[in-house]
């Protein structure tokens, strides 16, 4: 317990103090600590569980401490969040959670802080989770604030989700979506087409023909043993890449470009698909460090995939490519299951700058398409400003030069069966995936053809 807790606390502190990414840092910390499989699983649950519910736990801590969390030293506050998660959301005995958290506070903040931490945690332990949720909901000032404290989502994200679901006529699914965001996602793997193979005893994913899940065992063992032919990848990410590669039949000699390629999972799928069909595949990533990840990702594919390190807005050229993937930088609101700290880092003020960048990248991609070429515009966010708003602006600029393809129909063909893709009220061809409905990240997929 102590080792798992120490790893969780180290990651939580790094996320708060250094803006670290938990999904990148935690595996390194687990390897460094050499935890058993059971302790590593506990450390993972403590880390992600605490980070997901920071907003809820802060409201509870404020009540228990009778002071705003802004007045609590950051190292102590992170320890209290971790202790509150253990008390309310795990099977750790209350006395052990309190004792070990107080011990942790003494080590990171000195003995003077232990009395305060002990008092707060003992007050938290006096009520169960539902009792605390009722108390903090009663103190909320609006219905959206009540949802925010119960489901640990900032109010602005709740409103963005509601609007996106309402466009599909599915506004009544909001609570299901918020609950799904707080559930740990299952590990999904992909076997690169023509390169990797799906184990016979694996569970096939419901929609992606190249995806699977393991009934048990360590996925890292299979990933390492495959030499890169098999890797962990969300099913929604797989479908986004396949939507472009299978939108229309591949002609030998086509040129493809992944314009914003890091970390390279979709690039690898495109490279494998392109190699099978005789296409030429290129990638671009403006960050040199992240470009190295792309090169590593495509190393197992028997195709030379050059990776440039340029600004995507000026990289592509004109009339050159037959297919382009624009997996644009976005708020990441669709991946809150996997990146739990993202919900607390993003703000409404981030959206305009991102939509400007997204628009410029998509314009550059359309300019770079050859006649008849297709661009897939993909965001891991359902926010309407980042999706429908960006596409509407690009269509306004290009007018009759662009035609939307029906991305929903393409995904139905890729899935080889039924997939519940709601038709948005704006009449667009967008395909929107959801955690609660599809078990994937909330991936938004558009397909635009240059006439």
**What does the pLDDT look like over 135-180, one tens digit per residue?**
999 999 999 999 999 999 999 999 999 999 999 999 999 999 999 9
Q: Is the pTM of this model over 0.75?
A: yes
Confidence band for 390, pLDDT divided at 50, 70 and 90: very high
Whether 380 is catalytic is yes
Confidence band for 417, pLDDT divided at 50, 70 and 90: confident
Active-site option among 40, 326, 380, 443: 380
Q: Tell me what pLDDT residue 232 has.
A: 95
Give the mean model confidence (pLDDT) for residues 183-200: 93
Q: Are strands 402-405 and 189-191 parallel, antiparallel or unpaired?
A: unpaired
pLDDT beyond 80 at 54 = yes
Q: Tell me what pLDDT residue 37 has.
A: 86
**What does the pLDDT look like over 391-412, one tens digit per residue?**
999 999 999 999 999 999 999 9
Of residues 368, 309, 356, the one with CA closest to residue 329: 356
Of residues 223, 220, 251, the one with CA closest to residue 44: 220
Confidence band for 221, pLDDT divided at 50, 70 and 90: confident
By three-state DSSP, how is residue 447 classified? strand
Q: Which residues of 377-407 are buried (b: 16+ CB within 10 A; e: fewer)?
A: bbbbbbbbbbbbebbeebbeeeeeebeebbb
Q: Tell me what pLDDT residue 313 has.
A: 96
**What does the pLDDT look like over 87-120, one tens digit per residue?**
999 999 999 999 999 999 999 999 999 999 999 9
What does DSSP assign to residue 254? -
- CA 422 from chain centre, in angstroms, equals 21
Confidence band for 217, pLDDT divided at 50, 70 and 90: low
Residue 330 backbone phi and psi in degrees, to 5: -150, 180
> What mean pLDDT is reported for the chain?
95
Q: Tell me what pLDDT residue 1 has.
A: 65
pLDDT beyond 80 at 40 = yes
- Phi-psi group of 192: left, alpha or beta (phi > 0 → left; psi -120 to 50 → alpha; rest → beta): beta
Of residues 49, 21, 10, 27, the one with CA closest to residue 220: 27
- Phi-psi group of 359: left, alpha or beta (phi > 0 → left; psi -120 to 50 → alpha; rest → beta): alpha
Q: Tell me what pLDDT residue 214 has.
A: 87
Contact 411, 445 (CB under 8 A): yes
Distance CA 61, CA 157 (A): 23
Q: Which residue has the tokens 């690169």?
A: 192
Transcribe 274-341 into DSSP letters: HHHHT-EEEEE-SSHHHHHHHHHHTTTSSS---EE-S-HHHHS-SS-EEEEEEE-----GGGTTT-TT
Contact 187, 27 (CB under 8 A): no
Distance CA 404, CA 395 (A): 9
**What does the pLDDT look like over 290-306, one tens digit per residue?**
999 999 999 999 999 99
pLDDT beyond 80 at 218 = no
């Amino acid at each position: 317990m102590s080792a798992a807790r120490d790893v969780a606390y180290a990651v939580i502190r790094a996320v708060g103090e250094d803006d670290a990414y938990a999904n990148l840092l935690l595996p390194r910390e687990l390897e460094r600590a050499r935890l058993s499989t059971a302790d590593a699983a506990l450390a993972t649950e403590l880390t992600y569980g605490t980070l997901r519910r920071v907003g809820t736990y802060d409201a509870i801590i404020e009540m228990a401490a009778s002071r705003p969390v802004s007045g609590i030293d950051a190292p102590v506050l992170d320890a209290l969040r971790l202790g509150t998660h253990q008390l309310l959301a795990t099977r750790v005995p209350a006395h052990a959670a309190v004792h070990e958290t107080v011990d942790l506070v003494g080590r990171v903040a000195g003995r003077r802080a232990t009395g305060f931490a002990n008092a707060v945690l003992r007050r938290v332990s006096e009520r169960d989770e539902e009792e605390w949720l009722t108390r903090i909901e009663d103190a909320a000032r609006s219905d959206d604030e009540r949802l925010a404290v119960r489901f640990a989502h900032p109010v602005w994200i709740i409103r963005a989700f509601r609007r996106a679901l309402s466009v599909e006529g599915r506004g009544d699914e909001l609570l299901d979506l918020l609950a799904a965001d707080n559930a740990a996602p299952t590990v999904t793997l992909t076997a690169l087409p023509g390169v990797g193979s799906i184990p016979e005893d694996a569970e096939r994913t419901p929609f992606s023909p190249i995806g699977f899940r393991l009934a048990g065992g360590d996925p890292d063992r299979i990933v390492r043993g495959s030499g890169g032919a098999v890797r962990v990848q969300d099913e929604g990410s797989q479908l986004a890449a396949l939507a472009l590669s299978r939108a229309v039949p591949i002609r030998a000699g086509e040129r493809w470009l992944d314009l914003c390629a890091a970390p390279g999972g979709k690039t690898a799928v495109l490279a494998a698909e392109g190699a099978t069909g005789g296409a030429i595949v290129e990638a671009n990533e403006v960050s040199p460090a992240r470009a190295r990840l792309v090169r590593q990702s495509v190393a197992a594919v028997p195709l030379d995939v050059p990776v440039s390190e340029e600004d995507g807005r000026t990289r592509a050229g004109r009339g050159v490519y037959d297919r382009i993937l624009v997996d644009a930088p976005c708020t990441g609101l669709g991946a809150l299951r996997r990146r739990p700290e993202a919900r607390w880092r993003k703000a409404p003020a981030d959206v305009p700058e991102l939509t400007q960048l997204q628009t410029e990248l998509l314009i550059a991609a359309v300019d770079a398409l050859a006649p008849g070429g297709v661009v897939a515009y993909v965001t891991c966010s359902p926010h309407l400003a980042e999706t429908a708003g960006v596409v509407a602006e690009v269509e306004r600029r290009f007018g009759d030069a662009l035609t939307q393809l029906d991305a929903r129909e393409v995904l139905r063909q890729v899935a080889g069966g039924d997939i519940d893709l709601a038709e948005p009220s704006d009449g667009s061809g967008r395909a929107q995936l959801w955690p609660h409905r599809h078990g994937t990240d909330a991936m938004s997929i558009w397909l635009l053809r240059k006439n």
